[in-house]
Amino acid sequence: MEQPLINKPQTERGKKTLNSIVNAAVQLFYEKGYFHTSISDITKLAGTGTGTFYIYFDGKYSLYKYLLLSCSRMIRKHLTKSIEGCKTRQEMERVGMKSWLEFVLSHEYIYGIIWESMYIDRKLFDDYYITFCKAYMKGLSAAPAGEIADIDLEVMAYSLMGISNFIGLNWGLFRENTSREEIDRVVNEYMKILENGIFTEKARTVMRNQKSGSKKKPQEKKMQFSFPLDFDDEDGDASPGR
C-alpha cells in the first residue's frame, strides 16, 4: 500500500504551520525551481524549524508531489464548478475557457509546478495529463447526440487541452495586466475556432473537390479496336498510295 504523501495535522496550530510550509514551497518553487530550492530554504521562509518540516512530509519530493496533485484537483474542481448549469457542450467550452484564464491569472505559479514535473519525475508529468485527458473525454462523451462532430474523443480532448494550455500561457503569464475585456475577446476568438473552424467555405469546397476526385486529370483516350487490313486482296478497290 502506498504511503500517504502528508501527515495531516490534528490541531489548528498544526494546520497553520503546514499552510506556511506549503505556501513557502509554492513561492520558492515558482521563483527558484524545485532543484534550486532546499528544505531549509522552505522552512526559513515559513518561519519553522527543519524538524517541523518532517512532521508533515518525509522529504522534498513528497511535498512537491502533494502540491502537483493538489493543483490537479484544484483546477478540475474550479472548472467543474464553473460549468454547472451549462446546457450544452458549446456553452461549457466557452465558460470553461473563461474560467481557466481567470484561474491562471490568480494562480500564476500553476504552470511552474505542473511543467517542472517533466524533469522531477516524468511519470508524474505523464499521469497528470493522461488523467486530465480521461476526465475531459468523459465530459465530451456526455454531450447530447449530434452536438459535437464525429471525431476521435482522445484526439479532440488533447487538441482542446493544447489550445487551453497555450492560450493560458500567453494571456496568463507572457502578458501583463490582462483585462476582463481582453479575456472576453480571447474567449470569443477561441469559440470562432470551435464553431466555424479555421478554414473558409471556399477552402473547404476545394478540399471536398480534391477528395471527390473532381480535379483528376482526364484519362487519355485509347483505341479499342483493331481492324485487319489486307493489301493482297485482288478484289479490293484500293488505289496505289504512298
What interhelical angle do 60-82 and 122-141 show, nearest 10?
10
Is residue 118 pLDDT above 80, yes or no?
yes
CA 58 – CA 124 distance, rounded (Å): 18
54 is in which domain, residue-wise? 1-58
Residue-wise DSSP of the chain: -PPPS----SSHHHHHHHHHHHHHHHHHHHHH-STT--HHHHHHHHT--HHHHHHH-SSHHHHHHHHHHHHHHHHHHHHHHHTTT--SHHHHHHHHHHHHHHHHHH-TTHHHHHHTHHHH-HHHHHHHHHHHHHHHHHHHHTSPTTSS-S--HHHHHHHHHHHHHHHHHIIIIISSS--HHHHHHHHHHHHHHHHH-SS-HHHHHHHHHHHHTTTPPPPPP-----PPP-TT-TT-------
In the prediction, which pLDDT does 18 show? 96
Whether 117 and 145 share a structural domain: yes
Whether 105 and 8 share a structural domain: no
CB 51 within 8 A of CB 72: no
125 domain-assigned: yes
In the prediction, which pLDDT does 237 show? 56
Is residue 242 pLDDT above 80, yes or no?
no
The one-letter amino acid code at 44 reads K
CATH of the domain at 106: 1.10.357.10
The whole-number average pLDDT for the span 139-162 is 94
The 10s digit of each residue's pLDDT in 64-89 is 999 999 999 999 999 999 999 999 99
The 10s digit of each residue's pLDDT in 95-117 is 999 999 999 999 999 999 999 99
Higher pLDDT, 20 or 211: 20
190 domain-assigned: yes
CA 55 – CA 236 distance, rounded (Å): 117
Whether 74 and 175 share a structural domain: yes
In the prediction, which pLDDT does 126 show? 97
Whether 51 and 77 share a structural domain: no
In the prediction, which pLDDT does 139 show? 94
The 10s digit of each residue's pLDDT in 180-230 is 999 999 999 999 999 999 988 888 788 788 877 655 566 677 777 777 776
104 domain-assigned: yes
Whether 139 and 46 share a structural domain: no
In the prediction, which pLDDT does 224 show? 72
In the prediction, which pLDDT does 19 show? 95
- Could you tell me the pLDDT band of residue 174, with boundaries at 50, 70 and 90? very high
The 10s digit of each residue's pLDDT in 38-55 is 999 999 999 999 999 999
Whether 73 and 193 share a structural domain: yes
211's grid cell: 477528395
Whether 84 and 194 share a structural domain: yes
Q: Which residues of 190-224 are buried (b: 16+ CB within 10 A; e: fewer)?
A: beeeeeeeeeeeeeeeeeeeeeeeeeeeeeeeeee
- Could you tell me the pLDDT band of residue 235, with boundaries at 50, 70 and 90? low
CA 12 – CA 18 distance, rounded (Å): 10
The one-letter amino acid code at 229 reads L
CB 85 within 8 A of CB 94: no
CATH of the domain at 21: 1.10.10.60
* Total tally of structural domains belonging to the chain: 2
Higher pLDDT, 87 or 3: 87
Whether 10 and 100 share a structural domain: no
Is residue 236 pLDDT above 70, yes or no?
no
Average pLDDT taken over every residue of the chain = 90
- How much of the chain, in percent, has pLDDT values that exceed 90? 75
- Could you tell me the pLDDT band of residue 152, with boundaries at 50, 70 and 90? very high
Higher pLDDT, 96 or 1: 96
Whether 128 and 175 share a structural domain: yes
CA 227 – CA 174 distance, rounded (Å): 79
In the prediction, which pLDDT does 194 show? 95
